[in-house]
Chains A and B, each alone.
Chain A
Amino acid sequence: MSATMQDSPRATLQTLPGDDVRQIMWRFAERYDIQMLLQSVREVARGPVARLVAEGGRNSHEWTEGKQALIKHFDEAGITTAAVGPEYGGIVSGPYNLLLSLISFELAWVDAGAATGSLAGFLAFAPINERGTPEQVAEYTQRTASDGKGGHLRGAFGLTEPLPYVGVETGTLAGKVRIVEWRDGQEPLLHVDKRGRFITNMDLANYVTVAVDSDDERIKGSCMIIVEETDPGTFDRGVPTKKLAHQLSSTRDPVISVKVPASRIIGGYTIENGVIVPNYSHGKIIEAVFKHTRVSVGLLTAAKLLSAIEPVIRYQRERFRGRPGIDPGTPRHDLGLQQREDVLHRLIDVWATGEAAASLGFAAARLFDVLDPLEKDKERALSEQGAKGGLSQVKALQGSEKRALEFLALRAQPESERDNARFQELESDTIVQYLITDAVGNVLCPACKLWNTGYGATMMREALSLMGGYGITEDCPGFLAQKWMDAQLEATYEGPEAVQRRQLSLSMTLDLFIEQYKQWILEMRRIAFERPGTGACSLASAMELWLYTLNHLRKSTDDFGKKLYNTPRQGVTFPLADALCWLLATRELISDVIELEIKGAENPALAEGLPGLVAFYTDLCHVQCARAAGEVGKVCAELVYGYNRHPSWDRDSCACYSAEELESLESIVPGITPVASGLVDVIGPDGAAPCKAGPCAHAEGLQTFQRLRAKLDGCLTGARLAKDRAAYALTEVMIPEVLDYPR
């Protein structure tokens, strides 16, 4: 959209975005197999799942017949085996991160508990898939595809949770493994003790992938082990967890004490000096697992926010209908609450948040689809170099970091000016490409999980409030109250917010990420030039301010001389991590809208409404850019100024004039008194200081920050006009007569 185009009458949103739009924005318009599977998922979500929620199926902690019946629907719809490749009878050959994210999104549109149930199965299998031996992968994939009895093998993922009142805290593995029998030349037999809490899928799990610590000097460290319900010993599924959210998924506190062969250690093991050394510690495995699965959790909340738009619009429009005197054609009948600006602006905030969250989540999912094969290639390449694990790999990767930075520098140069031979060499270097992709993945994943769920939960409350008292009832259309509660759990699942902030505070400072981030700022400037309506200019300015703040904090100390950007200093690192999430989500939204503008033109079904769609989404981008800029400006200003001591009324810190001084200067510079009073602190004739905390704080050395901040504020120009336009679109957009679920 060019500046000249903006002068012509603007088209506006005609209908709510449908599948055609989403397929383009989230980059699966060419994948008919995925589209087909999603239609299948939608039928289950808006049919049996929605009916169960409407019938009150969530009002029980127990695993009821109704909940169990959903499993059959999941199986029939291809959800259970979605991650199984065609070679094992599956339907879709990937990309699995995007596919599983889309499935989760579709289910969470109605109920995230249903989504969690399916996700948990994938989560159980993920340790095997990510780090299992080829034999383990083959066996459990095959049994997931078919258990040989007309069903599917189902799993649960047993890491750990604190068990109340038994002295187990989060950092400790509530599981132990020891050797019970080890005959010469035979495989050791292990005894696994595991107590889990909040373990999803336990009612139906045939196997559990459990994290355990060694309780035997003949086993080194920790590992993950597959235990099955038929293993000798105790496989007690435990009591139901009395959770207040995601009630359609099974969650229990199991107690497992079974004997298993050592071949069940995920990823295998070696024997060194009579000691079993697992090839992967439990930490290494969950690191590989969570970097994928957390993205899907983030998308659950995004789905809720976007699902709230239609019911809220309908509620707003129909609010007064049915009352005597509210006749069709009158504003109160046709627009209802939408006559008022506030409800429209708030709903635009909800919508913008949902879109940005979805854009961030799906971008992260796509990135991991690129990263996964790169990681395997990287392992192979390192192995060929003789770096087969541990420190040798770390060293080899560190050695490649310089080359990765060189590649980024070359990529930023115009093709005509750079050394293209070197560029191509580095472009085809597996390890280089892995490093730069991984650097972004290590930021996008926690950012998606943190922002989507955390801020998403806040905005879900906003959506709920827009439905008035109806919103907090069980029969609120769209199940908004249930979704609000669910969002709170999503902020905790698979690592609570603090864990994500902690990871971000480290990964966002790495050179390989920062260099790419700098290029993104330039990218936003270019977009701002080509499409000023997106607000990319304000986003670029906010990104600059954030980067300046990070660099400033990394080399600054507080008033007591203590380092500011320091791991234990979470008051500094965590807010900066939060601020980054806003920027990343907004950037991805802009990217998706540009994709829609370009590719949408190729779809005849969209031709009629595309100008309106793009105009609306452009305004939505602008709104989100302004909100992100505001948040970033606030956080950065507080951090940059907040750790300086406020000056007091003493000689050292007060650059003040006395009233007498100004009076004497008046004869030399007439009119100085009123001007100076507005610029500096003036001590009264009786020596009294102005009535405030102290002299105005000076910002020595912070002129650059002030300039960037002032620039950012100026960049907000037009943002509220965009919000007005987007709000107007809400009054015009055509919505269906009724919600399409429960069916």
Chain B
Amino acid sequence: MGFHIVVCAGIVPDPLQTLEPITGPQGPALKNEMMLPAVLDPWAKHALFEAAHLAAKTPDSKVWLVSMAPKTKLQQVMMSIAQKASFELVALDGPASGFTDSQAVAEALAAAINAISGLDRKRLLVFGGWESASRGAGATLQIVGERLGIVEQFQGVDELSVTASGSLRILERVEGGMHQISHCDGPPAVLGWATGSLPEPPNNPQVGMANMRTLMPALQKATAAGVAVDGKSFTSVEVPKQRRDTRIVKDASTDDIAREIMEWIKG
């Protein structure tokens, strides 16, 4: 029997864009956020590719992508993502910035998952990123699992394999570049993916057109998700600082440059 895999994935501004925190009418925001091109959250994107891969090699499996974002932005992102994997979209119209509350987002996602028609909880694997590229709180997926009553949770997953008996063998990242190997009897389970090991599939317009049949209706019927941040405030917001220590040294020899680099690497 195949899996029912639900991938939770938000969208974030294209990482190449200039991200400048500002204070908007509803609190912290990114300057021109709605105008910036968006991409599927990179961590969650790995989860989606892993889900599609697992579904493709496990007969009778199906993938849903549950995403909360402003639907016009989500639609633009889907024009590319929908070509990379087969899935059915469940769209929630809501904010996608990193300034939403993890619990409120998780509640909305869990409710959306609960509402999926035909979803078999006994076959359910909830995938997502172990954190997000917008804020990286690393909490949303865990709360989604808790709300769904799924206690088998794994974070920082790089590999999932299904044994002959149907149990799951999972590699989670731990300190020192090592992996922790866990075994799980089977679904339901929550897997927060790190990078996995699959390359990004090329766009395939045929796949995209097939997804389109459910994608556009899903976007059209996307309802507003209430994820107010009442009672919460941000004391400060800043993007990670870029460090640039440029020195101009004339006539340095190749050996000197190499030596200095080696010393820097060694710390």
Contacts and interface: CB of A to CB of B under 8 A. Distances in A.
The number of chain B residues touching the other chain, given as a range, is 20 to 34
B20 interface: yes
Contacts of A604: 34, 70, 72
Nearest to A48: B202
Interface string A317-345: 00000111000000000000000000000
A735 B18 contact: yes
B76 A19 contact: yes
Contacts of A19: 37, 76
Contacts of A662: none
A324 B17 CA distance: 27
Contacts of B208: 36, 40
Interface in B1-40: 14, 16-18, 20, 31-32, 34-37
Nearest to B246: A322
Contact of B14 (A43, A603, A736): A736
A738 B16 contact: yes
A605 B32 contact: no
B203 A43 contact: yes
B205 A32 contact: no
Given A33-B212, A43-B203, A734-B31, A605 B82 contact: no
Contact of B202 (A18, A73, A324): A73
B87 to A, nearest CB: 15
A43 B16 contact: no
A504 to B, nearest CB: 37
A14 interface: yes
Contacts of A91: 205-206, 209
A606 B80 contact: no
Given A32-B212, A37-B205, A39-B203, A736 B34 contact: no
A323 B212 CA distance: 51
A739 to B, nearest CB: 8
Given A322-B246, A740-B16, A43 B32 contact: no
Contacts of A43: 80, 202-203
Interface string A10-45: 000011001110000000000011011111100100
B18 A736 contact: yes
B212 to A, nearest CB: 6
B122 to A, nearest CB: 35
Counting chain A residues whose Cβ lies within 8 A of the other chain, the interface size class is 35 or more
B209 A33 contact: yes
Nearest to B31: A734
B32 to A, nearest CB: 5
Contacts of B73: 605
A734 B208 CA distance: 31
Contact of B35 (A18, A39, A324): A18
Interface string A71-85: 001001110000000
A691 B51 CA distance: 87
A607 interface: yes
Q: Which of A15, A322, A735 is packed against the most chain B CB atoms within 10 Å?
A: A15
Contacts of B205: 36-37, 40, 77-78, 91
A20 B18 contact: no
Contacts of B32: 14-15, 608-609, 734
A384 interface: no
A322 B246 CA distance: 6
A14 B34 CA distance: 11
B184 interface: no
Which interface residue of B35, B208, B209, B248 has the most chain A CB atoms within 10 A? Answer: B35
Interface string A52-73: 0000000000000000000001
B83 interface: yes
Contacts of B80: 36, 39-40, 43
A32 B246 contact: no
Contact of A605 (B72, B204, B206, B216): B72
A214 B32 CA distance: 64
A734 B20 CA distance: 10
B225 to A, nearest CB: 15
- Is the contact region of chain B dominated by helix, strand, or loop, or is it mixed? loop
Nearest to A738: B16
A40 B203 contact: yes
B203 A77 contact: yes
A279 B53 CA distance: 54
A34 to B, nearest CB: 10
B79 interface: yes
Given A14-B32, A20-B76, A40 B18 contact: no
B216 A40 contact: no
A43 B201 CA distance: 11
B212 A15 contact: no
Nearest to A79: B205
Given A32-B212, A39-B80, A736-B16, A15 B202 contact: no
A737 interface: yes
Interface in A714-743: 734-738, 740
Contacts of A322: 246, 248
A39 B209 CA distance: 13
Nearest to A37: B205
Contact of A603 (B72, B79, B212): B72
Contacts of A608: 32, 34-35
A38 B82 CA distance: 13
A702 B12 CA distance: 63
Contact of A40 (B14, B76, B83, B212): B83
A734 B18 CA distance: 7
B105 to A, nearest CB: 20
Interface string A543-564: 0000000000000000000000
B18 A605 contact: no
Contacts of B20: 734
B16 A32 contact: no
B13 to A, nearest CB: 10
B80 to A, nearest CB: 4
Nearest to B247: A324
Most buried by A among B32, B79, B83, B202: B79
Contact of B79 (A14, A32, A77): A32
A43 B82 CA distance: 13
Nearest to B200: A43
A637 B17 CA distance: 48
A486 to B, nearest CB: 25
Given A73-B202, A76-B202, A734-B18, A324 B248 contact: yes
Given A19-B37, A39-B203, A735-B18, 17 more contacts: A14-B32, A15-B32, A18-B37, A20-B72, A33-B212, A39-B79, A40-B204, A43-B203, A76-B204, A605-B72, A607-B34, A734-B20, A734-B31, A736-B17, A736-B18, A737-B16, A740-B16
23 contacts: A15-B36, A18-B35, A32-B75, A36-B79, A36-B83, A36-B208, A36-B209, A38-B79, A40-B80, A40-B83, A40-B203, A43-B203, A76-B204, A78-B206, A322-B248, A324-B248, A605-B76, A606-B35, A607-B34, A608-B32, A608-B35, A736-B18, A740-B14
By Cβ-Cβ distance, the 8 closest A-B pairs, closest first, are A40-B203, A78-B205, A39-B80, A605-B72, A15-B35, A609-B35, A736-B16, A36-B208
Interface of A: 14-15, 18-20, 32-33, 35-40, 43, 73, 76-78, 91, 322-324, 603-609, 734-738, 740
